[in-house]
Structure 1
């Protein structure tokens, strides 16, 4: 059975706290695992969350500030230690190649992991597979930063009552899905006659940034939007100065972009009451709002 869920490994921003580790997010997408922004301590958080290194197929770094990448050495070395056999693709801003190189080889270890480096230098589709398309969009932060969007291709959902009406059963259903049409004597039945369009699901990951076009492009019609909300609206000036979002801004993006479920994360250590983030976002966004907590799991919404 396929599983689509977000495993939250860490939710702090620059400084971790007693209950919040540095960033880290594993997206389980059927048979694929996407690890986003592994901050310091990610390897240990994976242990607590019951996530093995073999669950990782792709690593996506938004930028090279420490709270988003200092866990990379431990994760890479764990891939070798656990003898993970499949290749792990690494996406990161090309401008930070020297930092990736240092993190990739931060200490002496028996290096056997198959790390496929795929630096990102511009907006667009950066990978394709059974999962669909992985896209990147540049954000607005003091250092170059990219957000990521996972887009599943659309398909069709077969309707049993219409299949029955046309007498299509067994292997004929699969053949109809593959070929698009079946001929019965002088009659032709098309797949459109017995199915409805099934929209592919979308996931978006937006970290350190001010409001910009890239934020909205990534969030557009996302079923699940994971987005930084470092500050509350009362500190909007600080958010703008340091290149971050407030919970209110994140909620506004979600509302305007027709997002289904909004996940707030990357919280400044200056706040000790997470309900304030929820209240501020819920005042703007009418959909599901989740204030992320370390080691929690957030399921993908049901298909629209």
Structure 2
């Protein structure tokens, strides 16, 4: 099982179908999980996908529309039934606070198992302790989008690091615990002199995963998708309904492909399809005319984050 992957729980837009549940996605990142948009039925989809409540460490809502949030009480209730007592950070756009309060109070145990973390501006999301909220070491960022209600995209951003080079370590006689000490302190004094971290390592760019759900084309979507190794993006409509997409605050599949290309995203995963399309083949074809690496997600699939460049 990949350490970093997207678990698809639901790919429908406002109206579910026989094969598509309402929105729901889990980003697994080095042993922790970010659940984005638990739409109606998410608790059951998690069961079918093999994602226990204990695998969810942070919940993020992109906006307050029902197809993205109505499964939240069930997810929180299930955590209580499973005996989980640690409150889970619950991230959402600040204007959605009144609705979120109703959702977390919808059942007897839910309210005690969520810690609201409202997002008022672009940038790193602050956790309950006031520090940047992390999922498996990656920092969660929010970016404002342009929808019919306040909405935001989310980015998991791994800090840049260093990759140790075994042959250089061996040449300088650095081994065992000294490697960790050098990585932590930046320099190491040996019998042969000082060894600097940059002498025996190379830069390792951090990875990025991004989720862009309901939005019109906007600068915020481009910022959210910038340089993403994996971009999950809505593809609600086909080209023929581009005007309708703009009216309702959505993207077409072609716009999703263009977004990935212009933002320099590596792999694009499409989701949030209108029920008017029984098949996603046409949507996939239109997105692939704009970007090379595109897949159309289906419920209960898993998609690995591409390996480092």
Scaled by the length of structure 2, the TM-score of the pair is 0.94
For the pair 1:289 / 2:288, whether they are aligned, the reply is no
Which whole-Å CA distance do the structure 2 matches of 1:13 and 1:112 have between them?
27
How many residues align? The count is 302
Between the aligned partners of 1:281 and 1:2, the Cα distance in structure 2 is 26
Alignment partner, residue 14 of structure 1: 14
Distance 1:2 1:9, change over 3 A: closer
The CA distance in 2 between the partners of 1:142 and 1:110, in whole Å, is 31
Give the superposition deviation at 1:80. Answer: 1.1
Equivalence for 1:226: 232
Unmatched tracts of structure 1, length 5 or more: none
Determine if contact 2:2/2:304 at 8 Å carries over to the other structure.
no
- Unmatched tracts of structure 2, length 5 or more: 127-131
Write the distance in 1 (CA, Å) between the matches of 2:162 and 2:43.
Answer: 39
Indicate the residue corresponding to 1:61 in structure 2. 61
The structural deviation recorded for 1:110 is 4.1
**C-alpha distance in structure 2 between counterparts of 1:298 and 1:49, whole Å:** 13
In structure 2, the residue matched to 1:126 is 125
TM-score, L = length of structure 1: 0.96
Inter-CA distance 2–274: structure 2 relative to 1 (3 Å threshold) = closer
Deviations 1:34-66 (A, max 9, x none): 000000000000110111111111110011111
When residues 110 and 211 of structure 1 are mapped into structure 2, their CA distance, relative to the original with a 3 A threshold, is closer
Deviation at 1:187, TM superposition (A): 2.1
Aligned: 1:117 with 2:116: yes
RMSD across aligned positions (CA)? 1.4
Q: Work out whether 1:148 is the aligned partner of 2:154.
A: yes
Aligned to 2:129: none
SS at match of 1:95: helix
Query: 2-side partners of 1:139 and 1:71: how far apart?
Result: 22
Q: CA deviation at 1:3?
A: 1.2
Answer yes or no: is the 8 Å Cα contact 2:105–2:111 preserved in 1: no
Could you list the per-position Cα deviations for residues 148-184 of structure 1 after superposition, in whole angstroms to 9, with x for gaps in the alignment?
1110101000011111111211111111111111122
